[in-house]
A and B are shown apart, each in its own frame.
Chain A
Amino acid sequence: MNFTVVLPPSSRVGEQAGLLQQLFAGHHIDLAFTHAEQAKALESTDVLVSTAFVPVTREDIFCASRLRFIQVAGVGVDHVDLEAAREKGVIVAGVAGSNAQSVAEHVIMSTFALLRPLILSHHDLKEGKWNLPGWMGQAQELAGKTFGIYGMGRIGQELAKRLLPFGVTLLYHDLRPLSPEEERLWGLSFVSKDVLFKASDIISVHLPFTPDLYHVIGPQEFLAMKDGSIFINTARAELVDEDALISALQTKLLGAAIDVLNSEPPSAEDPLLKLPNVLLTPHGAGVTIQAQNRIAQDAIQNVLRFLDNRPVDNVYVGESS
């Protein structure tokens, strides 16, 4: 069987390629790093292991005459044309939750970095400014704050578990509330979206993106937020009206941590880059070495299931077996 494996640009390519050759000995493996390389390899491939760095378009899917299975090695399958896969009868699977722990830690790191003016203070010091009075007037504890989690999937749950020991009050909103038992164990209170935005000192978004959730957080939500509160988005840029966020950052928010941008990478003129109270990261909240290893392991396990005609996990399109 022929495989095409799309690898992310990283320093660990050689190590990963070697591992794949070892695991799938007896099968032909093409490695791809660009869309062109992927398209060429797809002409003769049965299984595509895809990452979010290279899109899988309708044309790619229909031109791949032998393609039967797409395993996404990552969380989220936005870059794959699922409708085309459905039409062509190609199974698409992902690896949900493998990066949940990394994202949760990223959110907590961002929260602390904003509550203590960490980045500004660091830059001040590097520039020779010893601004202790400024620090004293701004640095805050997390304990005693109300933390709102918008979206209570795996990442939201991992975040809640890690936040609880910090002495926060935990609120959440989701289309599907947790069971009372889960809420009690993790100290979570379900509230309406309106109350979540009104009552929280910090709000972190963990929704999946679907078209009906486009700009689900806009001017009305930012208006409801408390003065001096914090907004964190590590989910999807499309969930948030960026203009409304910028306006809120200029008028009322203490700060925001944004891992996902409308334009990635952003242009030099992107107004978010100009604001002093934004902490930006390159869509890497879930991309730690440990998470990448888990994602690779989960993806490989799913491919092995497919090869053995066993049910595959986290299916987005097609039957699991």
Chain B
Amino acid sequence: MNVREAIKEWLQYHHISVVFGNPGSTEIPFLVDWPESISYVLGLQESQVVAMADGYAQALGQPAVVNLHSQPGLGHAMGALMTARRNRSPLVVTIGQEDSRHHIVEPLLYGNLAPWASSIAQWSYQPTSSEDVVPALERAYHEARRPPGGPAAVILPMDYLNGKANWNPRREVDYHTVPQGINELSQLLKASKFPALVIGDEVDKEDAWGEAVSLAEAIDCPVYGAPLSMRTGFPNRHPLFQGHLNPVMSTIIQILSPYDQVLVIGAPAFLTYPYVPGSREWAKTIVHHISSDPEYLARSMASKGYYGSVRLAMKALLAKIAPKEPELSEITLQEAEQKSTAARERAAMGSDYVIYTIGQSMPADAIVVDESVSHSLLLRKILNFSRQGSYYTASNGALGWGLAAAAGIQLAQRQRRVLAVLGDGASLYGMQSLWTMREWHLPIVIVILNNHGYNILKSLTQSLYPGHLAKTPGLSVEHVDFTHLAESMGVKAVKVDNPFDLEMELHTAWASKDPYLLDVQVDPEIPRLL
């Protein structure tokens, strides 16, 4: 068996039915004789295919394979790979390489790629022979899954794919472990007078919403969402949920200081933006931190960290903490507040109104991909997330990820609808993924919250340098025709500038069987950041 054939067999062995890519000449050996049972999803630029694979892997909970084109393609993909690394997203990244027999003369597409890829990958490797290729892919599969999860890169010289394959994988690795010290932690929580929980992305990744809700109800304590969490792991309409923490350290300390014991589960402790002067010291609060990510624990602000599976940890805690009956209110006042605020802002197409109306229109099990940037905090507050795998965002603030990730997530979750909410500035980093959505008839509802610029930067400028916004260049993006841009790639699109049209077009969008883009002219008021 040659390596080309063995790679396809290896993909099928791992039940990998989708490969994302954007090929160049070095990828032709990889693509020839492609089997019908595996879909090759073409994206129109490498950053987009990596983001698609990132979304797909997260939504599926398994490694995704992405195929890049030697050093130019890796160059394009670096930003998206960094995002995937920060997202802890397991990707097997194949990177084409010139034929090994003329590396010595450094031909056009050659690059010393393994060290380059290693700067963003959990593991990177260029096989030393054709026999080495499939074992390298097999190792990459497990390296990508290795906690905390991330890209693992294999560089594929063209000639190796024609050589003889050697393949004997058959390896299963269970990375989930029960953290040590749970017994002691349960005693502290039981004895605590004012405990609180902070829930992060790992809870969603490990499909542990049920355990998180049971634990919160058993302790009967307030629950916060981790700041800027890339996934949400707790129903935001639950009576114990207090909202997401703001990504400002002094605010986090201020909010959590009334509690004597705080347990952070499956999140960095804490991810912040921007810098605001103030103490990083806790007064009396004791912070505990459970994570399957040793990096999170290494840089944690907690006084004690527990390494291992958050789901197993919560199960172990639940076995030791007898549940209390929570007091459930008939209505969350938060919903009423949002309804009143939305009605108040309706005429001006204010952000609260637009996001509330989007929320009212979407199916209960919809998946939200958020690249709305200046609207993100509001979006997390207003939209209703009630089940696992409902919310995704890039963990490192990268733009250009959202549309592609939405495509990948919709490919992985065909039975649920995907809503992509993007800022106008953000969407322009990855607009070509609309083409992929249309080619695959992915019924994604895309909402561009169009305030004609980088409002998050305007907000930051106003906060840091009051009165200087008018003299700060580079923050406005005018004169983009989003509807024609989308229609040029076959995606139906409408511009919406009034409440009546918004309500009607959202209805039409959700009824569509193809991608549908709404260019929503939202009130350009600059939000207060600090």
Contacts and interface: CB of A to CB of B under 8 A. Distances in A.
Interface string B317-352: 000000000000111010111011111101000000
B360 interface: yes
Nearest to A185: B343
Given A184-B360, A195-B329, A195-B330, A189 B344 contact: no
Contacts of B343: 164, 184-188
Contacts of A167: 344
B330 A189 contact: no
B86 to A, nearest CB: 36
Given A165-B344, A167-B344, A184 B330 contact: no
Interface residues of B, number: 15
B339 A146 contact: no
A187 B339 contact: yes
Nearest to A181: B503
A169 B336 contact: yes
For the residues of A in contact with B, the DSSP-based class is mixed
B344 A169 contact: no
Given A184-B360, A185-B343, A169 B337 contact: yes
A165 B335 CA distance: 18
A168 B331 contact: no
Contacts of B331: 189, 191, 195, 199
Interface in A184-227: 184-189, 191-192, 194-195, 199
A183 interface: yes
A199 B340 contact: no
B341 A187 contact: yes
Given A164-B343, A184-B343, A195-B331, A189 B336 contact: yes
A189 B342 CA distance: 12
B340 A168 contact: yes
B480 to A, nearest CB: 31
A171 interface: yes
A205 to B, nearest CB: 19
Contacts of A195: 329-331
Contacts of A73: none
A164 B340 CA distance: 7
B528 to A, nearest CB: 15
A48 interface: no
A317 interface: no
A29 interface: no
Contacts of A199: 331, 333
A260 to B, nearest CB: 28
B330 A188 contact: no
Nearest to B499: A185
Interface in A141-183: 146, 164-165, 167-171, 183
B339 A188 contact: yes
A171 B339 CA distance: 10
Contacts of A191: 330-331, 336
Nearest to B360: A184
Contact of B339 (A165, A183, A192): A183
A171 B336 contact: yes
B330 A187 contact: no
B340 A188 contact: yes
Contacts of A192: 330
A167 B342 CA distance: 11
A169 B360 contact: no
Contacts of A168: 340
Interface in A111-169: 146, 164-165, 167-169
A194 B337 contact: no
Nearest to A161: B343
A178 to B, nearest CB: 12
Contacts of A189: 331, 335-336, 339-340
Nearest to A171: B336
Contact of B342 (A146, A187, A194): A187
B501 to A, nearest CB: 16
A183 B341 CA distance: 12
Contacts of B335: 189
Contacts of A171: 336
Interface string A73-87: 000000000000000
A29 B335 CA distance: 57
B336 A170 contact: yes
A168 B338 CA distance: 10
Contacts of B360: 184
A189 B333 CA distance: 9
A194 B339 CA distance: 20
Q: Which of A170, A186, A189, A191 has the most CB of B within 10 A?
A: A189
A165 B347 CA distance: 12
A183 B338 CA distance: 12
Nearest to A169: B337
A186 B339 CA distance: 9
A170 B336 CA distance: 7
Contacts of B341: 169, 187
A171 B340 CA distance: 9
Given A184-B360, A185-B346, A189-B335, A170 B340 contact: yes
A171 to B, nearest CB: 6
Contacts of A146: 333, 336-337
A186 B331 CA distance: 18
Contact of A194 (B330, B333, B336, B346): B330
B421 to A, nearest CB: 20
A193 to B, nearest CB: 11
Contacts of A185: 343, 346
Nearest to A167: B344
B330 A169 contact: no
Q: Which of B336, B339, B341 has the most CB of A within 10 A?
A: B336
A146 B330 CA distance: 16
B242 to A, nearest CB: 17
A195 B337 CA distance: 14
Nearest to A199: B333
Interface string B470-497: 0000000000000000000000000000
A187 B340 contact: yes
B230 to A, nearest CB: 31
Contacts of A169: 333, 336-337, 339-341
Q: Which 3 A-B pairs have the closest CB atoms?
A: A187-B343, A187-B340, A189-B336
11 contacts: A146-B336, A146-B337, A164-B343, A169-B333, A169-B337, A170-B340, A188-B339, A188-B343, A189-B335, A189-B340, A195-B330
Given A170-B339, A189-B331, 14 more contacts: A146-B333, A165-B344, A169-B341, A171-B336, A184-B360, A186-B343, A187-B342, A187-B343, A187-B344, A188-B339, A189-B335, A189-B336, A195-B329, A199-B331
